[in-house]
Structure 1
């Protein structure tokens, strides 16, 4: 799906989210940081679906929440329709959030069990002054339920009276209630059965076509991401390592980590499954509180080289056709000039992993504990 390059709705520049690690009971001391998101650059066009994939703990959800200021950015900018959301405060931030909504991962815990569906949908409308006319508001509620495939009688029910797929539809209706332009969907189908997943994914696509929505879809299911996304970004340990359109990524992955991810997707044909490339990553996932120097993937990379990989952190660079990759040797790997080799597993030590300069974590003195 081709769109004009200048029609950018969301632009993220060098975004970082670092969580302090504190020790002590009475007097908290910061002994390190978790580098959950550490220098992310991306641009999302109006009406586009941007997929964000990676292992659990790579920072996908934190990035999505930081875009909406649900997690405060440590540094960097988040420009939404030309306005830097990271700098907004108070009433200005509240007004901006009407145009940016989120679908949360767990459809049960994200809905208040003490509120009826009508109260849940009205809450956002009331906060932004969209419920002035009672008759128009009721009509709007019926339209929202119809849009997500739920009957009008659902308004009087409570979340526990619905199935998981129906609860996720209520979450989608809640996000749509304030007429947003951007929706961040954090694992919108991971808690659902496969048949229900297809229904929700198709619903999201239909709503996008009807309302002109822009999506950021966070997921670890690569098949779902490929089906729904125009472009895909791959995250590893707090940073983007590759970004391109969905077809190019699955046809020609360039970063070693992306190749490993895609090789893990099972193929239903036994003959193809037995003969295709399978990359098994060695070693543990490094701690985001103590990430490796240089390329953060070099401790597990089968294509690691003696120079640059463990000393210089690669920048996300374009290598043609809008395909961006953060690897010093992406072209050499693609053209076969560098061959994979066996990786010696590296054990992740927990002691001192929070901050190697400070030694083992300090839990406080006996006086502080008492």
Structure 2
């Protein structure tokens, strides 16, 4: 059994109107039927463009946002079945690294207070000497010195603040860490350092990661498996190596074609897929396949009427596309011919 099991998870936010906002006129389908599993010690990368529901999914898995339907099971425990106090105790095993360390760290608290807050909440800071030793170990693990304890978040650079956020997540010795865009707010020169740090910490502490990002180039180097999200659902899932070697879903193909290649000769010769149209609103998703309004390979009748399920195309490779096999074999050609030297809207 996988360490983390997500089954048909949905998060629908009501759209309210009226003087007292007491009338529901619709819903935002932020997450709409996601199922995935994460093995112990694995890094699962979740990618997709902004607004596809990645961050909402991560928060719903921890019940920071209450799911509308579906279940999240961690090591055999259904989080949705837990009352407030058992859930609080269980959350010691599940921690989160947030996207913007400047806004997720309380500016009025010192680093020492930030790191010990969770430890005190779970009765792990009862011994002063042991707590001091644990704080030094945490700061050493993330590459910061003990002199950081008395400082405040504004006294650090963006990369250092993210290291403090990582240390805070490690403080409770969790099994699973959900990293929500852990490097997107950092300079490119610092991103590789943080990614390497997460990789080193996983080996040292036996961590299991869900890494949420919109940059496929980032998750490629840290993820064992990757799930691609579009408009509230997972459209493709496979190993990192397989996804880059043989993407099957048209949306994945478009995302990968938008990644710049440092070799000018290769960049000029490769095909880039130009998506047409705008990203549909999650409050009014298209019927049928939700990508069909922008898909160059769409077949009008079936794609516009029937939503494809995420099914296994090959061992360990799942895809939600009615015509994945035909597209892979070249039996269906795109309506819009892939163009050279263009920038994909993905």
What TM-score results when the alignment is normalised by the length of structure 2? 0.96
Aligned to 1:287: 281
> 1:15-53: per-residue Cα shift (whole Å, max 9, x none)?
000000001223521110000000000000000000000
Measure the CA separation in 2 of the matches of 1:151 and 1:183. Answer: 23
Measure the CA separation in 2 of the matches of 1:294 and 1:269. Answer: 39
Whether 2:132 is the aligned partner of 1:142: answer: no
Listed as ranges, the matches of 1:113-192 within 5 Å are 113-192=107-186
Match of 2:208 among 214, 217, 234: 214
Query: Runs in 1 of length 4+ with deviation above 6 angstroms?
Result: none
Q: Secondary structure at the match of 1:218?
A: strand
For residue 90 of structure 1, report the CA deviation from its aligned partner.
1.3
Match of 1:319 among 292, 313, 331: 313
Residue ranges of structure 1 left out of the alignment (5+ in a row): 1-5, 344-370
Match of 2:333 among 328, 331, 339: 339
Measure the CA separation in 1 of the matches of 2:146 and 2:155. Answer: 14
Measure the CA separation in 2 of the matches of 1:214 and 1:12. Answer: 15
Residue ranges of structure 2 left out of the alignment (5+ in a row): 338-346
Measure the CA separation in 2 of the matches of 1:90 and 1:34. Answer: 26
For residue 307 of structure 1, report the CA deviation from its aligned partner.
2.9
Measure the CA separation in 2 of the matches of 1:22 and 1:125. Answer: 39
- Farther off after superposition, 86-95 or 23-32: 23-32
Measure the CA separation in 1 of the matches of 2:252 and 2:336. Answer: 18
Aligned to 2:263: 269
For residue 320 of structure 1, report the CA deviation from its aligned partner.
1.2
Match of 1:55 among 40, 49, 57: 49
For residue 272 of structure 1, report the CA deviation from its aligned partner.
1.5
> 1:90-131: per-residue Cα shift (whole Å, max 9, x none)?
111001100000000001000000000000000000011101
Q: Secondary structure at the match of 1:109?
A: helix
Match of 1:13 among 7, 18, 27: 7
Aligned to 2:77: 83
Q: Secondary structure at the match of 1:200?
A: helix
Measure the CA separation in 1 of the matches of 2:75 and 2:302. Answer: 37
Measure the CA separation in 2 of the matches of 1:298 and 1:246. Answer: 25
Cα 1:319/1:27, change in 2 over 3 Å: closer
- Farther off after superposition, 269-278 or 321-330: 269-278
Listed as ranges, the matches of 1:34-49 within 5 Å are 34-49=28-43
Listed as ranges, the matches of 1:203-282 within 5 Å are 203-282=197-276
Measure the CA separation in 2 of the matches of 1:25 and 1:155. Answer: 49
Match of 1:22 among 16, 19, 22: 16
For residue 277 of structure 1, report the CA deviation from its aligned partner.
1.3
Whether 2:322 is the aligned partner of 1:328: answer: yes
> 1:32-76: per-residue Cα shift (whole Å, max 9, x none)?
000000000000000000000001000000001111111100000
Larger Rg: 1
For residue 271 of structure 1, report the CA deviation from its aligned partner.
2.0
> 1:166-200: per-residue Cα shift (whole Å, max 9, x none)?
00000000000011000000000011111211111
- Farther off after superposition, 261-270 or 46-55: 261-270
For residue 319 of structure 1, report the CA deviation from its aligned partner.
1.2
For residue 267 of structure 1, report the CA deviation from its aligned partner.
1.1
Measure the CA separation in 2 of the matches of 1:316 and 1:207. Answer: 32
Whether 2:51 is the aligned partner of 1:65: answer: no
